[in-house]
Chains A and B, each alone.
Chain A
Amino acid sequence: MLTSSYLNKEECKMKQYFSRIWTGLLITFFSFSFISSSYAIDIKLWDLSGRQGQDEFYELLQKEVSKYNPDINVIVTEWENEAYKTQIQLALNGNDGPDVFFNWFGEDSARLARAGLALDLTPYADMEGGYGNFISKGWQDAGAVDGKIYGVANKAVSKYFYYDPAFFDQHNLSVPTTFGELIDTCKSIKAIDPSIVPWPMGNSERWKLNHVITMLNQRVVGAENTKADYALTAPDDELFTNPKYVEAWEKVVELNENCFNDAPNATNPELTRSMFAAQISPMMYCGTWCGGIFASEGFTDFKMFRFPRVEGGADDGTVGFLVAEGLQVSAKTKHPEAAALVASINVSDNMALADAELRGSLISNAALIDQMKDAPHWFTFYVNDIADKSGHVNVLDVLLEANVSNAYLDMGTEVLNGTKSPQEAMDFIRKVALEAKAAM
Chain B
Amino acid sequence: MNKTQTNSVGFSLSSDRVSVIILLIPALIFCTVFIFIPAFWAIVGSFYSYGMTSLNDWKWVGFDNYIKASQDEFFWIALKNNFIIVFASIVLQVGVGTILAAILDRGIKYGKVIFRTIIFTPMVISSVAVSIIWLIIYDPNVGILNSILKSIGLPTPSMGWLGDPDISIWMIMIVAGWQNTGFMMVLILAGLQGVSKEVYDAAEIDGATGVKAFWYITLPMIRNILIVAILITTIGAFKVFEFVYVLTQGGPSNATQVLGTYIYLQAFNLLHMGYANALSVVLLIIALILGWFQLKASRRA
Binding site for B on A (CB under 8 A): 85-86, 89-90, 92-93, 111-112, 114-115, 117, 204-206, 261-268, 271, 275, 402-403, 406, 410-411, 413-414, 417, 419-420
Contact = CB atoms under 8 A, between A and B. Distances in A.
Given A413-B251, A414-B252, A417-B253, 7 more contacts: A111-B53, A115-B53, A117-B53, A268-B135, A413-B253, A417-B165, A419-B252
B54 interface: yes
A197 to B, nearest CB: 9
Interface string B145-162: 000000000000111111
Contacts of B138: 266
Interface in B37-61: 51-55
Contact of A267 (B141, B157, B269, B270): B141
B255 to A, nearest CB: 9
The majority secondary structure among interface residues of chain A is helix
B295 to A, nearest CB: 33
B242 interface: no
A263 B157 contact: yes
A411 B157 CA distance: 21
B53 A417 contact: no
Given A261-B141, A417-B159, A417-B165, A410 B271 contact: no
Contacts of B251: 206, 265, 410, 413
A266 B55 contact: no
The majority secondary structure among interface residues of chain B is loop
B165 A267 contact: no
Contacts of A414: 252-253
A266 B159 contact: yes
Contacts of B51: 115
A263 B52 contact: no
Interface residues of B, number: 30
Contact of B162 (A261, A266, A402): A266
Contacts of A117: 53
A417 B164 contact: yes
Nearest to A118: B53
A111 B268 CA distance: 14
Interface string B233-262: 000000000000000010111100000000
A266 B53 contact: no
B105 interface: no
Contacts of A205: 249
A92 to B, nearest CB: 8
B163 interface: yes
A267 B140 contact: yes
A419 B253 contact: yes
Give the interface centre of A266, A267, A419 by most chain B CB atoms within 10 Å: A266
A89 B253 contact: no
B23 interface: no
B114 interface: no
Given A263-B157, A271-B142, A413-B251, A402 B163 contact: no
B241 to A, nearest CB: 13
A410 B52 contact: no
A263 B253 contact: no
A86 B161 CA distance: 27
A271 B271 contact: no
Contact of B139 (A111, A206, A264, A268): A268
Contacts of A92: 53
Contact of B163 (A266, A275, A410): A266
Contacts of B158: 262-263
A85 B254 CA distance: 20
A113 B127 CA distance: 37
Nearest to A271: B141
B15 to A, nearest CB: 33
B160 A262 contact: yes
B270 A403 contact: yes
A117 B162 CA distance: 38
A85 B158 CA distance: 31
Contacts of A403: 270
Contacts of A89: 52-53, 268, 271
Nearest to A115: B53
A115 B54 contact: yes
A111 B138 CA distance: 38
A412 B29 CA distance: 47
Contacts of B270: 402-403, 406
Contacts of B252: 265-266, 413-414, 417, 419
A231 B163 CA distance: 31
Given A204-B162, A406-B269, A262 B253 contact: no
A410 B269 CA distance: 13
B48 to A, nearest CB: 14
Contacts of A90: 52, 268
A88 B252 CA distance: 26
Interface string B268-285: 111100000000000000
A386 B91 CA distance: 58
10 contacts: A89-B268, A93-B53, A204-B162, A263-B141, A263-B163, A266-B163, A267-B140, A267-B160, A271-B141, A417-B165
Nearest to A410: B253
Contacts of A267: 139-141, 160, 163
Given A89-B53, A262-B158, A267-B141, A419 B165 contact: yes
A85 B252 CA distance: 20
A137 to B, nearest CB: 28
A93 B141 contact: no
B284 to A, nearest CB: 21
Contacts of B249: 205-206
A424 to B, nearest CB: 11
